[in-house]
Amino acid sequence: MASLNYKHLHYFWVVAQEGSITRAAERLGVAVQTISGQLSLLERQLGKALFNSQGRGLVISEAGRVALGYADQIFQLGEALVDAVQHSDSESTLRLRAGISDGIPKLLAYQLLTKVTAMPSDVRLICDEGEFETLLADLALHRLDVVLTDRAAPVGGNLKVFSSRLGDFATGLFATADLAERYGPGFPLSLDGAPMLLPTRHNALRGRIDRWLEHTGLRPKIVGEFEDSALLNTFGRGGLGIFPAPLALTEQVASQLEARALGAMDGVSEQIYAISNERRIRHPAVEALCTATSADQPAMTPGV
């Protein structure tokens, strides 16, 4: 198949946005016949009709919807490229586009990313938050340089990425002063029937907490389950229930969430991974993040 003509694709993209060849021609400053001709060439190359006639107008076909999805990604990336180059502060500024999974504690993500901001060179962090699968897709499209998440990349797929474990962070249970006074004494047996806030079962930490509760024979009252760790912490700060957090962040949890540690959950830890694209030369900031935080961790494992 011949290489795709991106000028033809751009004309298609604008027609799809405008809903009319005439309006697209006005927007692009070209003749209607020019767009019609190049749109026909694109349809001939793809072997599918991208639009169907409906009265005097055009309606995008199913094949056109598929093409439009890819065109959106292609031209949005192109716009981002121009913006990144034109607005780069200087040649010495290093940009790190980091995706942060909504399930990992934001205080922990901040602590990890300070390894990058402490680099000798000037670094600009661009952080995005989202679901695991969405962030991996953005990583594959090179919209992100690294993804911080609670699990390694799946093995056996088409993604060629590296999963580097940054650490295991022992996890404890925290509560506001009122709840701590009520349920702190006699921990962990005092948790039986206590109100508790937990991550949803999409979060790897949830399975470890469930196993700990089963092992200890405790049956707390689960009053809330949250996909987003920041939202979980907000409800925890409000005193709705006891909530988990890394013990390494005890001081930060006390100052920012006004909560104190009740105790550790033996054997329960928050595992954090950095997932990056498989490249011969890795991003310097990603390299700094992995080497600074995983000196005692196993070597990188590829997710193929």
Instruction: Quick: pLDDT tens for 63-93.
Output: 999 998 888 888 877 776 776 666 555 556 7
Instruction: Compute CA 39 distance to the chain's CA centroid, rounded to the nearest angstrom.
Output: 36
- Distance between CA atoms of residues 304 and 208, nearest Å: 26
Location of structure tokens 């169907």: 52
- 211-240 pLDDT, tens digit each: 999 999 999 999 999 999 999 999 999 999
* Residue 69: CA count within 13 A, CB half-sphere: 5
Q: Do 9 and 35 touch, CB atoms closer than 8 A?
A: no
pLDDT of residue 297: 41
Rounded mean pLDDT of the chain? 85
- 275-292 pLDDT, tens digit each: 988 665 567 788 878 776
Q: C-alpha angle with apex 213: 208 to 217, nearest 5 degrees?
A: 150
The gap between the terminal CA atoms of the chain, to the nearest Å, is 27
For the domain spanning 6-86, the CATH number is 1.10.10.10
Tokens linked to 37 = 């001709």
User: 173: which strand partners?
Assistant: 244, 263
- Distance between CA atoms of residues 181 and 185, nearest Å: 7
Residue 4: which pLDDT band, with cuts at 50, 70 and 90? confident
Tokens linked to 299 = 């070597």
pTM: 0.64
Query: For residue 91, which phi and psi values (nearest 5 degrees)?
Result: -65, -20
Percent helix, percent strand, percent coil in the chain, to nearest 5: 45, 25, 30
**In the predicted model, is pLDDT for residue 255 greater than 80?**
yes
- Distance between CA atoms of residues 265 and 187, nearest Å: 10
pLDDT of residue 296: 41
Share of the chain above pLDDT 70, in %: 88
Q: Which of 294, 197, 275, 290 is nearest to 237 (CA)?
A: 197
Domain assignments of the chain as residue spans, ordered by start: 6-86, 90-304
Q: Do 51 and 60 touch, CB atoms closer than 8 A?
A: yes
**CATH for 90-304, options being 3.40.50.150, 3.90.950.20, 3.40.640.10, 3.40.190.290:** 3.40.190.290
